[in-house]
Structure 1
Amino acid sequence: MAKSIFEQLGGAYEQQGDYLLPCLSLPAEKEQPIGVWGQRHLRYLKEYRRATYITLLTSGRLNAYLADIDRQAQERMERLTEQMKRAQGITEQLKAENALEWVQRMNNIRACAREIVEREIIFA
């Protein structure tokens, strides 16, 4: 019997009941830590950008892509937080004098920065 194209390219089949199924595996990918932002983007890809998710997964680039997105989002979050702190005049002196007001204002800044990062990077 003639070999199939899959077999000619070095593929193999395994018997599963009455069927011969090709032995497929994903390409090896370097494991990199993925933080909160990368996990959020992964969830977004799975739910709303399925084709992009499948393409990245099958090409072996998903982990590197998510680690890069996580790094970009974290850097953007830190940069925005610092810029907003300077613009609103939030200092360590305020923290020492009125800790409750400092916490309120910082929580507001972090929430605003989180929304911007999600809109620009995570859900884009």
Structure 2
Amino acid sequence: MTNKITYTQQGDYLLPDLKLPEQPKVEIGIWGKRHLKYIKHHRPILYTNLLTSCKLTAYLADIDEQAEDMFFRLVKQLAEKEGITDQLKADNQMLWVKRMNNIRNRAEEIVNNELILV
């Protein structure tokens, strides 16, 4: 099998048409997308290395899974610690929603600081 190299004329130069191999199609969730945005803007060398070594998709899928697990674990732990129960939900729905939103926001901040924005 021979690989033919094709070129594109750019002004006075012929540049090779380089193409990365196909990466596996993996659904990346919100955490992986946030991390992708972060590394593109703040860690371009890491981004380029992962992209050119065809490891970007797997890396983002792993970060997404870790962040999702951490988020749900934190929400559960914080809710238990603060005594937010199904009984509270039944007795006072608005208070339950308010407190759960507060917990979710704190958990999201922790995940962002420890996994996404690093």
Q: Scaled by the length of structure 1, what TM-score is found?
A: 0.88
RMSD after superposition: 1.6
Describe the SS at the equivalent of 1:21.
strand
Cα 1:39/1:15, change in 2 over 3 Å = closer
Query: In structure 1, what is the equivalent of residue 38 of structure 2?
Result: 44
Q: Distance in 1 between matches of 2:8 and 2:115?
A: 45
Larger CA deviation: 81-90 vs 15-24: 15-24
Shift of 1:63: 0.8
Query: In structure 2, what is the equivalent of residue 14 of structure 1?
Result: 7
Shift of 1:22: 1.1
User: Which of structure 1's runs of 4+ aligned residues deviate more than 6 A?
Assistant: none
Query: In structure 1, what is the equivalent of residue 51 of structure 2?
Result: 57
Structure 1's unaligned 5+ residue stretches are 1-9
Structure 2's unaligned 5+ residue stretches are none
Query: In structure 2, what is the equivalent of residue 35 of structure 1?
Result: 29
Identity %: 51
Q: Partner amino acid for 1:52?
A: L
Larger radius of gyration: 1
Describe the SS at the equivalent of 1:28.
coil
Does the 8 Å CA contact 1:11/1:22 hold for their aligned counterparts? no
Aligned residue pairs, count = 116
Query: In structure 1, what is the equivalent of residue 75 of structure 2?
Result: 81
Q: Distance in 2 between matches of 1:113 and 1:14?
A: 50
Q: Does 1:117 align with 2:107?
A: no
Query: Which digits, 9 at most, give the CA deviation of each residue in 1:46-76, with x for residues without a partner?
Result: 1100000000011111111111111100000
Shift of 1:11: 5.9
Q: Scaled by the length of structure 2, what TM-score is found?
A: 0.92
Shift of 1:15: 4.3
Query: Which digits, 9 at most, give the CA deviation of each residue in 1:23-52, with x for residues without a partner?
Result: 211122111000110110000001100000
Does the 8 Å CA contact 1:94/1:102 hold for their aligned counterparts? yes
Q: Distance in 2 between matches of 1:20 and 1:50?
A: 27
- Of 82, 99, 103 in structure 2, the residue corresponding to residue 105 of structure 1 is 99
Cα 1:83/1:26, change in 2 over 3 Å = same
